[in-house]
């Protein structure tokens, strides 16, 4: 207020004080006779002088205030963050603030009186001129963005606002503001870049912190089928397929919360309902307070990559010949089926299928035909089962069929159904095959085990099915067998027995018993050496209980060798004996022994070591030696026969020897099997068989011995048929050495006393 007062007063100053001052001066010539004294005038002058000084002071203060105000406005003008320029109608800059000079990289003095156009980049000259011309109406403002050229600084983008203003003393001027918008431009470019990056091949979905979709890009729409309008506002779970369980998402979000990021493969569902695999990356976006503001999900459809991976998997998990799953995949599926059936408590079925005599197909027809056969078998197997069941090829001629837990609840049901399917497979596979115009027949053996009730490992189950398959094989092939715990128990007993048997062999628990063989007169002519196991707990164990096992575990050769050794040692001991010297001994030899390499040398080695007359030794073979490699058998028999050994064909009539083979074997003797002898008095058929065997022996020039002769009636009937030798309890059961020797000495060359039969010790604990 004070200042405004002092501003208001100075213009009045010349009137009032000067009037008081001037009047006397002006009036002075006319007022000579002024009665006032000089003192009075002096005083008045002094007062005027004081007033003048006061007015002077106020004037100066007003001037200072004005200057300060002007400086402030000049400062505001010069240092404003915006460049100000005044440009004349001729385009020359009349005024400019310091900011404008700084922006254009010039001193103000240089800038003022230069043409504005000089500071515009050549690329924008035309636009500037058009703009300058458009500023034609006073008061009208216009805006333009131009690239400006600083002298020593870089070009920059500027936003220019111009307005035409009138001037008091000349043509209108343009006032121009100049703002550097480089940074703004850069931000814009970055935004554009970001927008471009957003539209990539990868689908992008941006959600709020609580999972509501805020933005999606074009690729997202292409992948998922949902347009931006459809997706925005929905939850991210829109695209879930339901194939991943809750635990999957829980662990995924736990990772995101912990590390801000998750990536991996999952199955999502398109709008069309199609489920597809995708590679997904989820990244959390944080604000400065480290609070999540958004989640960005980028996704790639990996269906194609998957398809390629599947091709690779095809090679790793499928058998290239049949395209069936291989062992690896089958075990994998079996593992899954085990888990599933443990949950549902339903039984699944595992079948082990092995071709019968496939090797001979390969050998006789060639591997390529064998392969074609395997392919046809694979197709038939697949046709026998339902979708969801697995048919796999383990390699060679082994297949596996796995039916997951889709069968009935009761084990009986499952077994019944498994049997039905197994029989269907047997039927289907034994129908003839046509391989390049050749008709071929083939059968399989199937081992079956159920799973799901008890927990077993995959390997254990495969082993069981395999064991059952072997049961089927030994039951004559082209059949099926179930694995059951009875089988399993037997296997356990067997493995215990194996250990014990090995021990027995090393520790002298084995003995040989001798059973007499008599001629038609009842006189002792030979004996059969039969193995016995003098078990420390179980007493005397008969060979039926350990011979088969010894065969299976590979002990039979050692056992057989021991029996031969013992028999030869005995022959040697008897050699000088008046009664026993010259007695023949027969020793049983199994097929495995004969086919073992070096059999001939081994036998001859024993014979020579004990200096035994080879003529006293007879080897008994069963018809099973005819099953494999008959030529090998014949060669070895011939070699031994040439050295003087004799051969008998044991258990004759039970096997399937063809007569042609029988003729080729260098035999001396047939032993009619005791099962026919046992029934010959009650069954005419058995009698006929025994008679035929005896006739056959005669026509082939072989002696025939009847086994298992227990009664006089049997002996008479046999003798009537022309049987030359007899062996059986009627003349003596197998007996220990000392008993046998006593019997032999008592009888001498007379017939054996049939009424005083020594009986074989019977097993105690069995
Ligand atoms: P195998 O060679 O047929 O032996 C004859 C079997 O008939 C013997 O059984 C004998 O005890 C039995 N036997 C003899 N007479 C009668 C009779 O009147 N009635 C009845 N019911 N049976 C009679 P074992 O000693 O139990 O031998 C069984 C089989 O074990 C033998 O049958 C033979 O195949 C095998 N075996 C025995 N010792 C050896 C051996 O050292 N090596 C090989 N590889 N096998 C052997
Ligand atoms: Ca025998
Ligand atoms: Ca026999």
In this structure, the residue with its CA closest to atom 40 of ligand 1 is 588
What local confidence, expressed as pLDDT, does residue 138 receive? 82
**Residue 420: Cβ-neighbour burial (10 angstroms; 0-12, 13-18, 19+):** exposed
Question: CA torsion sign, 173 to 177 to 180 to 186?
Answer: negative
Ligand 1 neighbourhood includes 531 CB (under 6 angstroms): yes
Compute the distance between CA of residue 562 and CA of residue 556 in angstroms, rounded to an integer. Answer: 10
Residue 530 Cα to ligand 1 midpoint, Å, equals: 6
Ligand 1 neighbourhood includes 160 CB (under 6 angstroms): no
Low-confidence residues in the chain, pLDDT < 70 = 1-35, 151-153, 406-413, 485-492, 656-658, 755-766
- Ligand that lies nearest to the alpha carbon of residue 543, given by its number in the listed order: 1
Run of H or E residues at 252: helix 246-259
Mutate to test the pocket of ligand 1, among 518, 542, 543 (most ligand atoms within 8 A of CB): 543
Residue 129 Cα to ligand 3 midpoint, Å, equals: 128
Compute the distance between CA of residue 291 and CA of residue 632 in angstroms, rounded to an integer. Answer: 87
Neighbours of ion ligand 2 (CB under 5 A): 588, 620, 650
Residue 620 Cα to ligand 2 midpoint, Å, equals: 6
Ligand 1 neighbourhood includes 550 CB (under 6 angstroms): no
Residue 159 Cα to ligand 1 midpoint, Å, equals: 119
What local confidence, expressed as pLDDT, does residue 660 receive? 75
Run of H or E residues at 525: strand 524-535
Residue 336 Cα to ligand 1 midpoint, Å, equals: 50
Compute the distance between CA of residue 510 and CA of residue 564 in angstroms, rounded to an integer. Answer: 13
Place of tokens 């595992």: 350
- Ligand that lies nearest to the alpha carbon of residue 563, given by its number in the listed order: 1
Q: Per-residue DSSP letters for 681-731?
A: TT-HHHHHHHHHHHHHHHHTT-EEEE----SHHHHHHHHHHT--EEESTTT
Looking at 575-681, list the stretches that DSSP marks H as alpha helix, in order from N- to C-terminal side. Answer: 591-595, 599-609, 630-642, 659-664, 674-679
Task: Supply the DSSP symbol for 760.
Answer: P
What local confidence, expressed as pLDDT, does residue 565 receive? 96
Closest atom, ligand 1, to C-alpha of 531: 38
Residue 590 Cα to ligand 2 midpoint, Å, equals: 10
Which 3 state secondary structure label does DSSP give 333? helix
Q: Evaluate whether 377 touches 391 at the Cβ level (below 8 Å).
A: no
- Ligand that lies nearest to the alpha carbon of residue 671, given by its number in the listed order: 3
Compute the distance between CA of residue 482 and CA of residue 466 in angstroms, rounded to an integer. Answer: 10
Closest atom, ligand 1, to C-alpha of 671: 3
Neighbour tally for 570: CB within 10 Å: 22
Residue 673 Cα to ligand 2 midpoint, Å, equals: 10
Residue 734 Cα to ligand 1 midpoint, Å, equals: 8
Q: Describe the crossing of helices 38-79 and 16-27 by its angle, rounded to 10 degrees.
A: 140
Closest atom, ligand 1, to C-alpha of 513: 25
Residue 752 Cα to ligand 1 midpoint, Å, equals: 21
In this structure, the residue with its CA closest to atom 22 of ligand 1 is 708
- Ligand that lies nearest to the alpha carbon of residue 515, given by its number in the listed order: 1
Residues ≥6 apart with Cβ < 8 Å to 363 = none
In this structure, the residue with its CA closest to atom 42 of ligand 1 is 588
Residue 604 Cα to ligand 3 midpoint, Å, equals: 24
Ligand 1 neighbourhood includes 543 CB (under 6 angstroms): yes
Residue 130 Cα to ligand 3 midpoint, Å, equals: 127
Ligand 1 neighbourhood includes 651 CB (under 6 angstroms): yes
Compute the distance between CA of residue 649 and CA of residue 621 in angstroms, rounded to an integer. Answer: 5
In this structure, the residue with its CA closest to atom 43 of ligand 1 is 588
Ligand 1 neighbourhood includes 650 CB (under 6 angstroms): yes
Residue 725 Cα to ligand 2 midpoint, Å, equals: 14
- Ligand that lies nearest to the alpha carbon of residue 586, given by its number in the listed order: 2
What local confidence, expressed as pLDDT, does residue 33 receive? 55
Ligand 1 neighbourhood includes 674 CB (under 6 angstroms): yes
Query: What phi-psi label fits residue 103: left (phi over 0), alpha (psi between -120 and 50 degrees) or beta?
Result: alpha
What local confidence, expressed as pLDDT, does residue 766 receive? 37
Ligand 1 neighbourhood includes 102 CB (under 6 angstroms): no
Mutate to test the pocket of ligand 1, among 533, 542, 588, 725 (most ligand atoms within 8 A of CB): 588
What local confidence, expressed as pLDDT, does residue 574 receive? 95
Compute the distance between CA of residue 622 and CA of residue 599 in angstroms, rounded to an integer. Answer: 16
In this structure, the residue with its CA closest to atom 19 of ligand 1 is 708
Ligand 1 neighbourhood includes 520 CB (under 6 angstroms): no
Compute the distance between CA of residue 233 and CA of residue 163 in angstroms, rounded to an integer. Answer: 47
Residues ≥6 apart with Cβ < 8 Å to 590 = 547, 551, 556, 560, 622, 624
Looking at 318-457, list the stretches that DSSP marks H as alpha helix, in order from N- to C-terminal side. Answer: 327-344, 358-365, 367-384, 411-430
Residue 118 Cα to ligand 1 midpoint, Å, equals: 128
User: Can you read off the two tokens belonging to residue 42?
Assistant: 């002096």
In this structure, the residue with its CA closest to atom 27 of ligand 1 is 543
Ligand 1 neighbourhood includes 560 CB (under 6 angstroms): yes
């Amino acid at each position: 207020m004070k200042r405004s007062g002092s501003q208001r007063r100075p213009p009045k100053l010349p009137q009032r004080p000067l009037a008081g001052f001037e009047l006397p001066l002006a009036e002075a010539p006319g007022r000579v006779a002024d009665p006032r004294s000089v003192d009075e005038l002096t005083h008045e002058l002094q007062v005027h002088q004081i007033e003048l000084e006061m007015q002077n002071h106020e004037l100066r203060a007003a001037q200072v205030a004005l200057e300060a105000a002007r400086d402030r406005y000049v400062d505001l003008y010069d240092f404003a963050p915006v460049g100000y320029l005044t440009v004349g109608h001729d385009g020359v800059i009349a005024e400019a603030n310091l900011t404008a000079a700084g922006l254009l990289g010039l001193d103000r003095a240089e800038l003022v009186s230069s043409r504005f156009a000089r500071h515009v980049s050549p690329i924008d000259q035309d636009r500037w001129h058009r703009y300058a011309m458009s500023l034609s109406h006073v008061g009208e403002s216009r805006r333009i963005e131009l690239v400006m050229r600083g002298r020593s600084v870089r070009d920059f983008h500027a936003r220019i606002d111009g307005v035409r203003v009138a001037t008091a003393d000349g043509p209108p001027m343009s006032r121009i503001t100049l703002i550097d918008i480089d940074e703004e431009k850069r931000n814009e470019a970055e935004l554009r870049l970001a927008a471009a990056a957003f539209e990539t091949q990868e689908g992008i979905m941006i959600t709020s912190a609580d999972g509501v979709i805020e933005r999606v890009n074009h690729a997202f729409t292409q992948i998922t089928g949902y347009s931006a309008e459809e997706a925005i506002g929905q939850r991210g779970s829109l695209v879930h397929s339901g194939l991943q369980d809750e635990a999957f998402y829980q662990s995924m979000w736990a990772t995101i919360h912990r590390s801000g990021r998750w990536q991996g493969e999952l199955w999502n569902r398109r709008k069309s309902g199609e489920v597809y695999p995708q590679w997904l990356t989820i990244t959390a976006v944080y604000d400065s307070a480290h609070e999540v503001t958004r989640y960005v999900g980028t996704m790639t459809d990996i269906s194609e990559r998957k398809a390629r991976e599947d091709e690779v998997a095809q090679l790793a998990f499928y058998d290239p010949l049949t395209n069936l799953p291989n062992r690896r995949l089958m075990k994998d599926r079996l593992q899954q089926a085990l888990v599933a059936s443990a949950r549902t408590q339903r039984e699944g079925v595992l079948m082990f299928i092995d071709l019968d005599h496939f090797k001979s197909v390969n050998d006789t027809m060639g591997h390529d035909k064998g392969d074609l056969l395997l392919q046809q078998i694979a197709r038939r197997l697949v046709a026998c089962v339902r979708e969801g069941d697995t048919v796999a090829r383990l390699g060679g001629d082994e297949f596996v069929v796995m039916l997951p837990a889709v069968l009935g609840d009761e084990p009986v049901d499952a077994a019944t159904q498994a049997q039905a399917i197994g029989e269907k497979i047997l039927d289907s596979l034994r129908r003839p095959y046509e391989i390049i115009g050749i008709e071929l027949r083939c059968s399989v053996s199937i081992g079956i085990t159920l799973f799901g009730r008890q927990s077993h490992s995959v390997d254990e189950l495969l082993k069981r099915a395999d064991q059952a398959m072997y049961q089927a094989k030994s039951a004559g092939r082209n059949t099926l067998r179930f694995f059951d715990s009875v089988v399993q128990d037997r296997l356990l007993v067997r493995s215990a027995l194996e250990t014990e048997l090995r021990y027995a062999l090393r520790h002298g628990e084995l003995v040989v018993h001798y059973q007499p063989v008599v001629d038609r007169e009842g006189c002792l002519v030979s004996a059969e050496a039969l193995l016995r196991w003098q078990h420390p707990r179980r007493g005397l164990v008969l060979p039926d209980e350990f011979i088969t096992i010894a065969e299976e575990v590979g002990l039979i050769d050692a056992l057989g060798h021991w029996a031969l050794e013992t028999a030869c040692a005995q022959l040697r001991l008897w050699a000088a004996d008046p009664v026993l010297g010259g007695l023949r001994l027969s020793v049983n030899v199994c097929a495995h022994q004969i086919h073992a390499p070096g059999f001939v040398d081994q036998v001859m080695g024993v014979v020579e070591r004990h200096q035994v007359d080879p003529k006293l030794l007879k080897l008994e073979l069963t018809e099973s030696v005819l099953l494999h490699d008959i030529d090998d058998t014949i060669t070895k028999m011939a070699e031994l026969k040439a050295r003087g050994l004799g051969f008998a064909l044991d258990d004759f009539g039970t096997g399937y020897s063809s007569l042609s083979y029988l003729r080729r074997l260098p035999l001396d003797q047939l032993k009619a099997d005791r099962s026919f002898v046992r029934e010959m008095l009650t069954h005419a058929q058995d009698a006929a068989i025994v008679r035929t065997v005896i006739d056959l022996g005669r026509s082939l020039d072989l002696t025939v011995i009847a086994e298992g002769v227990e009664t006089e009636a049997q002996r008479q009937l046999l003798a009537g048929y022309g049987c030359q030798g007899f062996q059986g309890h009627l003349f003596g059961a197998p007996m220990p050495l000392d008993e046998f020797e006593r019997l032999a000495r008592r009888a001498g060359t007379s017939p054996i006393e049939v009424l005083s039969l020594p009986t074989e010790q019977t097993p105690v604990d069995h």
